[in-house]
Amino acid sequence: MKYVSTRGLAPIASFEDVLLTGLAPDGGLYVPAAWPTLSAAQIKAMRGRPYANVAADLMTRFAGDAFTKARLHEIAEDVYRHFDHPDVAPLRQVGEEDWILELFHGPTLAFKDFAMQLLGRFFDDVLARRDERLTIIAATSGDTGAAAIDALKSCEHVDIVVLHPEGRVTDVQRRMMTTINAPNVLNIAVDGAFDDCQAIVKQLFADRSFVEDVKLGGVNSINWARLAAQTVYYFTAVASLTGNDKAINFVVPTGNFGDVFAGYVAKQMGLNVGRLVVATNTNDILHRAMTTGDYAPAGVSPTVSPSMDIQVASNFERLLFDVMGRDANALREKMEAFNNDGEMQLSADNRTRISADFASYATTEEATINEIRNHHRTTSELIDPHTAVARAAAQKLRAKGELVGKTVTLSTAHSAKFPEAVKRATGVAPTLPAAHAELFNKTEHMIHASNDVTAIKHAITSRAGRSG
């Protein structure tokens, strides 16, 4: 399997390269040179197979010769064994033609565990082979940091540094990061907002000598290996509901366009996917782009679904590459113009092609809270605010006749990760699963830093090598 950059000026890369690099050197994103495809019979045969088995099978198609088939099976079994539901990604029926796909049974209770846990093992294998050590850095608004720390805390060849905006993540989110006591983990609480953390990470990557010194790497959602791992639950859902005979729609709580793009990839691979609904909160750049053609960032406003509070959706470039007929030169011009002007216009043709696969809806804060309340009233189940954004979108689009037939809504986080919003909506405080019962009794480990790249550099270098 070969990977090409969406901007066309980077060398062709292997799975191992794209795993370790993230962004392509020409500023583009890596995508497979051609989509791997499966026959309807192969997909049907996934029905009833364990999740780990399907995951290893699909990853084989993306990973080329980076790992043996046997090793991928070993890794996948080892990783998904630790999820606290036997189905790993169980479906729960909530209406005649409606299901919720529960993606919060991993170690940090959000869907990011699905990919991150595999990535941790992939890193360790590849780095051991190369006799190298990497410092992974991530800025987090909550979920990515916890997922990355849990996935990498036992890695022998990786140090992990996570920047979170002090006081702007929930207590549960912070404690899931800071109560892990491992020599290769460094939590930094930054006196600033999530955007400041992200800006610091960008500045660190721009300093080539710093990157070389600490061997800096990233795991943000543009990493191709994460998207590849996220195709798996689309396959297991369709295989179990229709055996690929009939199309299934998916409604996806969307921020950086990673998770929903994985659904698009699954469709290109032969999966019978109907409509993919991009469900956003009030930070709705994607919904505006799809309905008006204006891809124009507005300031980020904080919501009860903070993991989707974004300015621009990085992975959207991967979709544009496809809808522009994989014309890397045309896409590069478009992205360069976007960088200069701060906004871009999608052509009528691009929009037509996008709407062949996608629909979109932006849910207000009020509707999100109402949906948590309604869902609890009608099913006695608690859903988290991200899931509620998507459930509200599904019902609105169904009522408008824009969503027809069997539909799966992705539930991306456990309600107990966002207790304030859930309690406000329902009057019920969600309880953490047993594995996290001691979360509030454990000691926290973190350092505090000002919103200043030099201070953060110092904090990282003074720790580097501590565990190596």
Ligand X SMILES: *Cc1c(COP(=O)(O)O)cnc(C)c1O
Q: Using CB under 6 A, list all residues that contact ligand X.
A: 110, 112, 143, 221, 253-259, 307-308, 386, 412-413
Nearest-approach distance from CB 186 to ligand X, in angstroms: 21
Of 66 and 138, CB closest to ligand X:
138
Residue nearest to ligand X according to CB distances in the complex: 258
Nearer to ligand X, 68 or 311 (CB): 311
Q: Least Å distance between CB 89 and ligand X?
A: 14
The residues carrying an active-site annotation are 112
| Least CB distance to ligand X at residue 115 (A) | 9
Closer residue to ligand X, CB minimum distance, 6 or 307: 307
What region, left, alpha or beta, does residue 281 occupy, with left being phi > 0 and alpha being psi -120 to 50 degrees?
beta
Q: Given the complex with ligand X, which of 105 and 386 has the nearer CB atom?
A: 386
Q: How far is the CB of 367 from ligand X (least distance, A)?
A: 17
Compute the least distance from the CB of residue 360 to ligand X, in Å.
Answer: 12
- If the CB atoms of residues 73 and 386 are measured against ligand X, the closer one turns out to be 386
- Which tokens go with 334? 């478009």
